[in-house]
Amino acid sequence: MNTVKTIEEARHQVKVWKKEGYSIALVPTMGSLHDGHESLIKRAAKENEKVVVSIFVNPIQFGPNEDLASYPRNLTKDKLLCESAGANLIFAPEASEMYQKEVPTNVSVQELAVGLCGAKRPGHFDGVCTVVSKLFNIIPADKAYFGEKDAQQLAIIKRMVRDLNFDIEIIGCPIVREEDGLAKSSRNVYLSSKEREAALILNKSLTKARQALSDGEKSTETLKKIIIQQLKTETLAKIDYIDVVDAASLTAIEFVRKPILVAIAVYIGKTRLIDNFIYES
């Protein structure tokens, strides 16, 4: 497995593989890879002949008061995980390779970015769409793999691909959890041991909501109340948002009908964690 830092090198390798007729997968990441990323890479390796993992902490998707500077980075460890999971190439550019000095041309999927994380992180999804578009142009893969933990990101990228006619198939992969239920996230390393324990409240509150749905609950307000009630039992948890939306349009709904997305963002201390589930009614 090779690691390249320039667009030219990545393009060259992918061109060679294309010419040789290989099917190619892209797994876009910001590094600090964990079991969730590993599951994406393994699935990509199972379904494609060549797998490119991009590792790039994309500055334009972070807000001014967010954790760009402290975002965990560990390329040496990431390389080992990529290699053992079956990747063939890592594309790990510097920011100066990806962006010129001027404000970059922007890709924006406005409709789906209004609520959930979009409401709390203005400009975040423009940054994601812009970098993902660039990656799709640099590495013209057949398929790209994204985690369902970032449910809004996945919906937005699917819409962007449809609307801008990118010739790539987007594959969503299930959330990977720790044994005790905490969703794997690169940001979990920020948690102290007390906070790590407290963070279990995210999955516990979603489990309660899922149970209520299975018991026949139809009111999205009631579902939100159930989640709030649970989250309030944990003193270290501060709610950022709780949303129950139509899973495709991400718009608010009053009653459960089609597949719904139940998504939450919660601060545990200073760390903002997200989690969700999709319920097919």
Nearest approach, Cβ of residue 192 and ligand PAF (Å): 24
Strands 143-147 and 24-29: parallel
Q: Is 132 in the site for ligand PAF (CB under 6 A)?
A: yes
**109 vs 198 by CB, closer to ligand PAF:** 109
Count of CB atoms within 10 A of residue 88's CB? 20
- What string of DSSP letters covers 147-179? ETTSHHHHHHHHHHHHHTT-S-EEEEEPPPB-T
DSSP secondary structure, 22-64, as one string: --EEEEEE-S---HHHHHHHHHHHHH-SEEEEEE---GGGS-T
Shortest Å distance, C-beta 227 to ligand PAF: 24
Rounded Cα distance between 40 and 35, Å, is 9
Choosing from 12, 34, 37, 124, which is the catalytic residue?
Answer: 37
Find the part of the chain contacting ligand PAF (CB under 6 A) among 62-70, 124-132, 203-211, 245-253.
124-132
Place of tokens 């939306």: 245
Binding string to ligand PAF for residues 21 to 60, with x set by CB under 6 A, is what? -------xxx---------------------------x--
- Of the two residues 61 and 271, which places its CB atom closer to ligand PAF in the complex? 61
Closest CA to 52 of 125, 103, 3: 3
Neighbours of 171 (CB within 10 A): 16
Q: Which is nearer to ligand PAF, 153 or 271 (CB)?
A: 153
* CA-wise closest residue to 1 among 42, 53, 66, 68: 53
Does 151 contact ligand PAF by CB under 6 A? no
- Site pattern 53..92 for ligand PAF (x: CB under 6 A): -----x--x-------------------------------
Our finding on whether 131 is near ligand PAF (CB under 6 A) is: yes
34 is known as an active-site residue:
no
118 or 224: whose CB is closer to ligand PAF? Answer: 118
Give the residues lining the site for ligand PAF (CB under 6 A).
Answer: 28-30, 58, 61, 128, 131-132, 150, 153
Active site residues: 37
